[in-house]
Amino acid sequence: MAIYMGLDSSTQSLTAVVIRVDGENREVLDQRSIRFDEDLASYGCQNGVLAHSDPLVAHSNPLMWAEALDRLFDVLSREGKVSLGDIQAIAGSGQQHGSVYLNSRAAARLSSLDPAVPLVGQLQDIFSRQTSPIWMDSSTAGECELITAAVGGDFELASLTGSKAFERFTGPQIRKFHAEDPQGYEATDRIHLVSSFMASLLAGAHAPLDPGDGAGMNLMNLSGKDWAPSALEATAPGLAEKLPAIEESCSVVGPLSNFWVERYGCSREARVICWSGDNPCSLVGVGLVKPGRLAISLGTSDTLFGYLPEPRVDPAMEGHTFGAPTGDYMSLICFKNGSLAREKICNGAGLDWAGFSAALRDTPPGNGGAIMLPWFEPEITPNVQDPGVRRYGLEETDGPANVRAVVEAQMMAMAIHSRWMGVTPESIYATGGAACNKEILQIMAQVFDADVYQFEVGNSAALGAALRAYHADDKAAGGSISWEEVIAGFAQPVAESRISPDPELVALYKDLKPVYEACEEHALGRGEDPRQKIEAFVQR
């Protein structure tokens, strides 16, 4: 029998999923979250983000993430559902792209943490930058342009690193830091991703990062899975010495540090496994270890992703190719206006989630041609720098119609912008906080003409991390367990949760998608007035 822990340091919370593997008998022993806004309110974050006068800037506090880790172990050890001393290996998942800047004091401090004192107080002076830019930041358009020009264009950068330059990606963020605070940059000894920072706290030493998360930086050579000198040079001077090593997702960072052993009774032999990004971990957590299926995560961001045996470049360059924890690749598109956009519409209509679902049940599919582009925040896909919700034939005051409009828009945008992946899925695996909402998934099924499934464990990133811990631990012990064996009994969708599309509504959304696309093109200033198309849809 063996016990593994998966952690997910996401935008709004830190979650642990603990699993037990005993031959064919497999079970989830515990799931527990620390929510940043509620449980660590003194940091003053809203939805995990610090307030800032510039709407394009989104930073968070790395001390808050560290305190959440200490708190989570404390809660787990006090609740006693899991004997922390029995955990054999821990892996983790981090919100992607976010970066943590540490000075030269960090290495020694990490290796000598005092277990008698809370973690956070011991980390106060190890940062060369007090806050961390996260994936929601879109303030680096200028840096993206400069990096792109230096590397030789969008296509060159996308072919090299898996993505053209994106504002939230770590390279452009590092370039901005160097330009704005050269002394702070100079004082930086190590730039971690959220994932490798959290792994470093567990291992008590600077941890490497994996190709899954490394591909979200515009700095990694995707096929070689090592740093790309031309991209590093285009970003900031002396960057190579400041970056962690890139190692396989299944690499062992080291044993759990003395801090966790003494403070919470963890085992000295417990292995810390390399962390990865939340999307690569989710790929494993929903069992996508083979091609042909897609998953949609409805978390703070909405993402759509699938397994890829070989890297491929999105010709429109809106999408990304990341490394997958299996050693292969994954395709992904990301939408910033995901859960928080649904929440805004829900709150604006004076509803709770039950009311939101009721509005979806009570309004007609297709919304009588009323369309919303839900760009509350600057959008990633398509690139919208000038935020603001656009409505076509939709009154802002009509709460239920706005509820339907936001979900229909999100699902159609996902379908349209994922065409480059070349997958026509028969099944879609739904995960993330909003995947518990059957009415949302119903629209997903119609728009994609696919069966949609839910999972027992809603947090697929944390589950995927636990499964990665199992896989890596087996490998470290000389085993050669296959990914199919790893995921068996854990990452299977709940068969009874299947939501099937209604052919009549599939036909309706087939007609509505080009109308939505025309609205998008119009709103982006690239296409003509879509009113005629909307009218033709209404008349159909």
Tallying the residues shown for the chain, one arrives at 540
CB of 107 to ligand XUL, least distance (A): 27
* DSSP assignments along 273-294, one per residue: EPPEEHHHHHHHHTT--SSS-E
Distance, CA of 7 to chain centre: 13
Q: Does 417 bind ligand XUL (CB under 6 A)?
A: no
Binding mask 317-336 for ligand XUL (x = CB under 6 A): -----------------x--
Q: CB–CB of 470/21 below 8 Å?
A: yes
**Total number of residues that touch ligand XUL (CB under 6 A):** 15
Report the residue number, 208 or 216, with the smaller CB distance to ligand ADP. 216
Report the residue number, 299 or 400, with the smaller CB distance to ligand XUL. 299
The stretch near ligand XUL (CB under 6 A) out of 29-37, 177-185, 272-280, 530-538 is 272-280
- Buried b / exposed e over 150-178, threshold 16 CB at 10 Å, is ebeeeeebbbbbbbbbbbbbbbbbbbbbb
Tell me which residues in 333-392 interact with ligand ADP (CB under 6 A).
339, 342-343, 353
CB of 330 to ligand XUL, least distance (A): 11
Q: How far apart, in whole angstroms, are the C-alpha atoms of residue 538 and residue 146? A: 45
CB of 353 to ligand ADP, least distance (A): 4
Q: How far apart, in whole angstroms, are the C-alpha atoms of residue 450 and residue 169? A: 32
Pick one of 278, 318, 439, 474: the residue that binds ligand XUL (CB under 6 A). Answer: 278
Pick one of 4, 36, 135, 509: the residue that binds ligand XUL (CB under 6 A). Answer: 135
Q: Does 305 bind ligand XUL (CB under 6 A)?
A: no
Q: Is 479 exposed, middle or buried (0-12, 13-18, 19+ CB in 10 A)?
A: exposed
Report the residue number, 46 or 223, with the smaller CB distance to ligand ADP. 46
Q: Does 279 bind ligand XUL (CB under 6 A)?
A: yes
Tell me which residues in 10-39 interact with ligand ADP (CB under 6 A).
10-13
Tell me which residues in 358-397 interact with ligand XUL (CB under 6 A).
none
What SS3 state is found at 456? coil
Binding mask 6-35 for ligand XUL (x = CB under 6 A): -----x------------------------
- Closest residue to ligand XUL, judged by C-beta, is 96
Q: How far apart, in whole angstroms, are the C-alpha atoms of residue 8 and residue 432? A: 12
Q: What are phi and psi of 210, to 5 degrees?
A: -105, 165
353 touches, from ligand XUL, ligand ADP, none (C-beta below 5 to 8 Å by class): ligand ADP
Can you tell me which residue has the tokens 């959290």? 198
Q: Does 299 bind ligand XUL (CB under 6 A)?
A: yes
CB of 297 to ligand XUL, least distance (A): 7
188 touches, from ligand XUL, ligand ADP, none (C-beta below 5 to 8 Å by class): none
* Partners of 254 in the β-ladder: 272
* DSSP assignments along 304-351, one per residue: EEEEESS----TT--SEEEE-TTSSEEEEEEESSSHHHHHHHHHHTT-
Can you tell me which residue has the tokens 């099924």? 445
Q: Does 303 bind ligand XUL (CB under 6 A)?
A: yes
Report the residue number, 367 or 459, with the smaller CB distance to ligand ADP. 459
Joined tokens for residue 353: 């989630």
Tell me which residues in 66-105 interact with ligand XUL (CB under 6 A).
95-97
Can you tell me which residue has the tokens 């989104």? 58
Query: Which of left, alpha, beta for 83 (phi over 0: left; psi -120 to 50: alpha)?
Result: beta
12 touches, from ligand ADP, ligand XUL, none (C-beta below 5 to 8 Å by class): ligand ADP
Q: Does 454 bind ligand ADP (CB under 6 A)?
A: no
Joined tokens for residue 372: 């919303």
363 touches, from ligand ADP, ligand XUL, none (C-beta below 5 to 8 Å by class): none
What is the helix (H) or strand (E) element at residue 185, kind and residue range? helix 182-186
Tell me which residues in 408-447 interact with ligand ADP (CB under 6 A).
432-434, 436-437
Can you tell me which residue has the tokens 């995921």? 487
What is the DSSP pairing of strand 294-298 with strand 302-308?
A: antiparallel
Binding site for ligand ADP (CB under 6 A): 10-13, 299-300, 339, 342-343, 353, 432-434, 436-437
Binding site for ligand XUL (CB under 6 A): 11, 95-97, 135, 168, 216, 277-279, 299-301, 303, 334
